[in-house]
Structure 1
């Protein structure tokens, strides 16, 4: 594998389940064919890489009851790789989104070819996880070819394609278009670093390259990775890459517990196959970082001793002002900011209007945990008029009580009439959302200081990719405002434009009486268009990270398509792997 001798010939797929990879399946050729068939034998040591995606990055399916209620042929609740499904949600109203994306009736759409839990008798698990519906059916293409992920010979029984093998590792349960690059790069590069004793040429992008090239922060100071350190980290070990989706509508606390169960099962599975598997390495994107912190917390997932280290990518460590903005004003119009096609699809599907987003996230504990937490600090929500700040909140470092649970205040988080457009009898109400907010507050306080000792992070610190640290409502007009808190909403377009009236003025006389137009201001703080540097920087300020990369040039959802993010991740993974001490 990573340090295998180089033999000319046709490489055969490696099967971990066949006598600890000591057995493989070849094929007959004509006697004139003298090309050797090469069998790669896996090392006995296994160090799995576990990828945890961000919010909206895990595919979800709905219960049979909810599928029947919605009159659907199949049980897909969320699958952003499918343009057909995305278009269905785009056409749907807020009530439809609330019904389809209900944390009580959804679960991760895992690959299960034995039971085929697709909700459609004509659709197999392989079809569900193999199809990306752009306009026509196109197969999920694994763009690498290695002994671990290679099509079996046509003579093999049973015969699996490399895409099926990737699906068994969870690659089909995450937003594949967004995460394919990081999954493939980790799988390929960590397992083929050396061949015939020589360093693979790709690694010259990392070996002996100063980490400052990927915008490493000076504290702590990071040294270049040398070839001997890489060789030591990968020799006699293989690194299978797994993706583990989670229900991003549920609380991250619950997701941490469920991911812990899956990792424990995975470790036992490798051990049952005869390999030495003791720990895993976690790589996260965005909200996946919160799940990872729950995963290692002693009172939640309690997996700290089984996790060798964590690489956090673009994590909203203490929340993000964008969560407030999007629940009030919808996701950003891709025409206003340079969102990628992938980012624009996910943004549009969840909602370009506040009522659409609130109908989903207002009922989703996981989504509410992306709001700025108490650690975010004071005075980030502001009301301005003629260049002056009339009000700023929170004052007492408790946005849950001072902003989110406010009732009857035009600048509060929740428009009550937006919470339950489906008019469900149970589970959706202002009071229910407040209960979720209490849980979010407790969760953030619980994980506030929880970071793995062997952690690295990368995140956006780019003024050209501005994000909302401060969220500002600006009131236009020259008229004096006697009491900004007492203003009432007459109209709200759901995209950040409000008509407000002074107390005592009847809405019907808005045109004649004093009125004020308030507009949500654009982002103006460094970040990645979603997570502000202010939040991500909590990782650096914690003093617990072995390396931090403050980067520029990428948008939040697309971060793992950026060369600097990818290379800093591979660098970090090797640094983590070097600290593995195997039990004898």
Structure 2
């Protein structure tokens, strides 16, 4: 080092466990007297907490009481493996039988696992002191990310977005330098700071600022960002946290866990943290809505950004209980449940999963049966109450659950009464959050024909293959619609069969090695049709756009529809990322000012 440095000396900075900036500097000889600059970030802290969707949180087994110090083991781990694919999930869950699923994926036997994979690089405010040993640096970063809750949520689905968000919100705190905004010379002015000749460049007030990343579609749906809003947001550090939850248990419990996390963070960051912002994915939106209803929580939440939320449920939840997921996506279906038997074994005992079913606010008549000519074969269901008319129906084959699937081989069976109580919990939860949104709510949903979704569920009658018996004896459509569960053959896949049986067909003569084939004979085959509407592949448009139509007192500030993404990867879309940033700016501009601002 020279006696007359040509460039200013800047002290390296990192953040401690409380999120406060710490500067480090090695003492220099006394004859070097030029100042060391400590560049300070804003004092205000407005944490962003990401709340994942169903199956988006890592889970581990709970230690069983009375069995000594048995170690918790991962049950649902969402780390990226070979080429970014989740090999752990595939190896542990592909084609697992219903009984094993029922045993392991029980809400009372699992809890959130915070030891999932986390990033190995610094970004934004996740900065640790430099270490000569790379391993020590990685360990320090791992600790920081785990403190942020990132180890609780899916690496494959969310970490790229969380890294982008942390970097975007916390790498530069001078609003006129933010690259996401089209800031031009006419938006700026320069003023002098006393004492001395120091000059500061600032945004002029009340200037509309464009966000090119929104694209023409979203920009046309949204009012402009105003320069004052950028300046107000610039008063905060916005560290990005995550909050996983037990998605098998009721979202009521998840909401309470989120409330505890909010209180912990506000205490951690101290007097300069007055509120937090929630960013949600899918079912996480239901969790956040309920959390905002808990005593005192709405005031601690500055606003909420909801992405692809099934605001009033999704009929696909019903369909997967009936016929599984194999015909939607064979690979994902092998993990989640290829047939209705595997799905039901978990679904029926999991209040959180049941809370994804269409609610009382979903348009009536979303379930129908049509005959071979396409004419209605029964009144569309539900007429009014989906809980009594579909979900708890035991006297019709098109009811939600087959009772015998509640007791799979090698499982821990539940009773119909257990299921009824879980269904009642889902209904109570639906009624609590109906039409309720935080006063500063921003919503995006998918609307793309290339990602079709189930707006409704249609069972279609097709003539079966009758190898024996008179064709004229086929029951009519009304009779078929009135059949009970035991009167329809059902192995948890589409189609279901009315009449007939599984018959073996011998191979042709002369081919002794040919396998014996099984043919399903029937009067009727009941096929569950595929997707019938636009959306994101999971949430239909009607549920995605429901918030602004059902909200009380106009608390949904902006709601946009966008194409080009599927449900799970929605936050990987540049459009949704830019909308999230837009929403965070708007929310931060109206957040409580930090106490450091006077």
TM-score scaled by structure 2? 0.80
Among 400, 404, 420, the alignment partner of 2:387 is 400
Give per-residue Cα distances to partners, 1:67-92, cap 9 Å, x unaligned. Answer: 989x9985111112252243111142
Q: Does the 8 Å CA contact 1:217/1:549 hold for their aligned counterparts?
A: no
Distance 1:91 1:19, change over 3 A: closer
2:257 paired residue number: 258
Give 1:104-503 correspondences, 5 Å limit.
104-110=108-114, 128-130=115-117, 140-142=118-120, 145-146=123-124, 148-154=125-131, 161-195=140-174, 198-204=176-182, 207-209=209-211, 213=215, 215-216=217-218, 222-235=222-235, 237-271=236-270, 275-297=271-293, 300=294, 302-333=296-327, 345=332, 347-385=333-371, 386-421=373-408, 428-477=414-463, 480-487=476-483, 489-501=487-499
The 2-side partners of 1:245 and 1:108 are apart by 7
1:93 aligns with 2:111: no
1:284–1:311 Cα contact (<8 Å) kept: yes
Cα 1:514–1:151, aligned 2, differ >3 Å: closer, same or farther? closer
Assess, with a 3 A threshold, how the Cα gap between structure 1 residues 164 and 17 changes in structure 2: closer, same or farther: closer
Consecutive unaligned residues in structure 2, runs of 5 or more: 1-6, 30-34, 80-85, 184-207, 465-473, 504-518
2:123 and 2:166 in contact (8 A); partners too: no
- Structure 1, residues 312-333: CA drift from partner, whole Å, max 9, x if none? 0000001000100111111254
**Aligned-partner Cα distance in 1 for 2:356–2:385:** 15
Query: Contact 2:106/2:350 (CA < 8 Å) preserved in 1?
Result: yes
> 1:25 deviation in Å?
3.5
Aligned partners of 1:464 and 1:39: how far apart in 2?
52
Aligned to 1:525: 533
Q: How far is 1:545 from its partner?
A: 1.0
Q: Secondary structure at the match of 1:491?
A: coil
Quote the offset at 1:497 in angstroms: 1.4
- TM-superposition CA deviations, 1:368-415 (whole Å, max 9, x none): 000001100211001111211112443432111000111132111101
Aligned partners of 1:184 and 1:276: how far apart in 2?
24
Measure, in 2, the Cα distance between the counterparts of 1:361 and 1:392. Answer: 27
1:573 is aligned, of 562, 572, 584, to: 584
CA distance in 2, matches of 1:107, 1:573: 30
Q: Deviations over 1:228-287 (max 9, x none)?
A: 43133223x11111100011001111111121112112111211xxx4111100000000
| Residues 357-366 or 200-209, more deviating | 200-209
Aligned partner of residue 477 in structure 2, secondary structure:
coil
CA distance in 1, matches of 2:11, 2:146: 22
Q: Is the 8 A contact 1:285 1:314 kept in 2?
A: yes
Distance 2:249 2:324 in 1: 21
Q: SS at the partner of 1:129?
A: coil
Going from structure 1 to structure 2, the CA distance change for 1:277 and 1:517 (only over 3 Å counts) comes to: same
Structure 2 SS opposite 1:103: coil
SS at match of 2:376: strand
Using the TM superposition, give the Cα deviation of residue 162 of structure 1 relative to its aligned residue in structure 2, in angstroms: 2.8
Contact 1:47-1:280 at 8 Å conserved across structures: yes
Aligned residue for 1:78? 76
* Structure 1 gaps, min length 5: 1-6, 31-35, 111-127, 131-139, 337-343
- Partners of 2:300 and 2:100 in 1: how far apart? 41
What does residue 560 of structure 1 align with? Answer: 571
1:176-234 CA-to-partner distances (Å, cap 9, x unmatched) read 12111321222111223445x7413244499513797374497xx63222444313322
Separation of aligned partners in 1, 2:45 and 2:520: 74
> In the TM superposition, what whole-angstrom CA distance separates every residue of 1:164-186 from its partner, at most 9, and x where no partner exists?
31221001110012111321222
Query: For the Cα contact (< 8 Å) 1:496–1:519, is it kept in 2?
Result: yes
Checking the alignment, whether the CA contact within 8 Å between 1:12 and 1:25 is kept in structure 2 is yes
**In the alignment, is the contact (CA less than 8 A) between 1:193 and 1:200 conserved in 2?**
yes
Tell me the CA shift for residue 565 of structure 1.
0.7
1:516 to 521, 524, 529: 524
Q: Is the 8 A contact 1:293 1:450 kept in 2?
A: yes
Q: Aligned to 1:14, what secondary structure does the other structure show?
A: strand
Q: Is the 8 A contact 1:211 1:222 kept in 2?
A: no
Distance 2:426 2:177 in 1: 47
Structure ID, larger Rg? 2
* Secondary structure at the counterpart of residue 429 of structure 2: helix
What secondary structure is seen at the aligned counterpart in 1 of 2:248?
coil
| Residues 356 and 28 of structure 1, relative CA distance in 2, 3 Å threshold | farther
The number of residue pairs the alignment matches comes to 526
Contact 1:152 1:162 in 2 (8 A): no
| Inter-CA distance 39–371: structure 2 relative to 1 (3 Å threshold) | same
Q: Secondary structure, in 3 states, of the residue corresponding to 1:483?
A: helix
